[in-house]
Amino acid sequence: MNRNTATFLVLCVIWGTTWIGIKAGIATVPPLMFAGTRFTVAGLLILSATRLRGAALPRVAKRSWPRLFVVTLFMIPLCYGPLFWGMLYVDTGTAAVLELSLTPVTLLGFALLLGDERYDGRKLFAILLGAAGLCVLFGPEAYASWTHADQQGRGLRLLAMTAVASAALIYAWGSVLARPLLEVYSSDFIAGFTTLFGGAFLILISLVVEPGATAALKGNWGWPAWVGWLFLVLFGSFIGSHP
């Protein structure tokens, strides 16, 4: 087994199990606060590790700040905020398959729309095939949920699934927008910066809109939430960004 294959398998295991950590955390912690603290600490770890390896943090050019700000919003708050909230009402398996199956389709779609990939029939076929696969995977469940749930339950579950799906769309868009930055700045710096400041923004939003957010800062979460949080920080964000 070569290194690339081994790395791919490790990432599959890590990213496939992060959903369990999320579910464990949001069972007792407001979702935006749980996400915000996770990403803020992970961002600090990524930037600290970069410095410990002897790499200096770059000075960001003025022309790069607007794009870096937008990418930060897209990659963390606008992506993971809806995702963590949506998982309150969507089971772990459904959320994982929905988001992970939609991400490659949307990445290709945005790359084509923004001119980072050249259009051809095979790529269009790949997008259509991915969309058809999503319909096959989730069409029956969505129909069953709609016909058997009460009106309020239908609307809430549909909204939650839309939030989870939107995470893939926003993440793909942000990833494509980040490509010009990655040509100038290191991937470690971009990952650390967006994770740190995106997480801090989520904490601020949580303190404004989420009941119990201030109390959650005391850390009385229970051990399942803390184990999930540590796994997400260390494996989902820190090690996941340094395969």
190 exposure class (CB count in 10 Å sphere: 0-12, 13-18, 19+): buried
The full set of domain ranges for the chain reads 30-55+186-243, 67-180
Q: CB of 164 within 8 A of CB of 23? A: no
Residue 214, token pair as written in the block: 């201030």
At position 31, the amino acid (one-letter code) is P
Q: Please tell me the distance from the alpha carbon of residue 76 to that of residue 20, in angstroms, as a whole number.
A: 19
Q: Angle at CA 199, nearest 5°, toward 194 and 204?
A: 130
What's the pTM value of the predicted model, to 2 decimals?
Answer: 0.82
Residue 61, token pair as written in the block: 């050019």
- Spell out the per-residue pLDDT of the chain, length 243, in tens: 566 566 656 666 666 678 889 999 999 999 999 999 999 999 999 999 988 888 788 899 999 999 999 999 999 999 999 999 999 988 777 777 777 667 666 666 666 666 666 666 666 666 667 667 666 666 666 556 555 555 556 677 778 888 888 888 888 888 888 989 999 999 999 999 999 999 999 999 999 999 999 999 999 999 999 999 999 999 888 876 654
Residue 155, token pair as written in the block: 């609307």
Contacts of 136 (CB under 8 A, 6+ apart): none
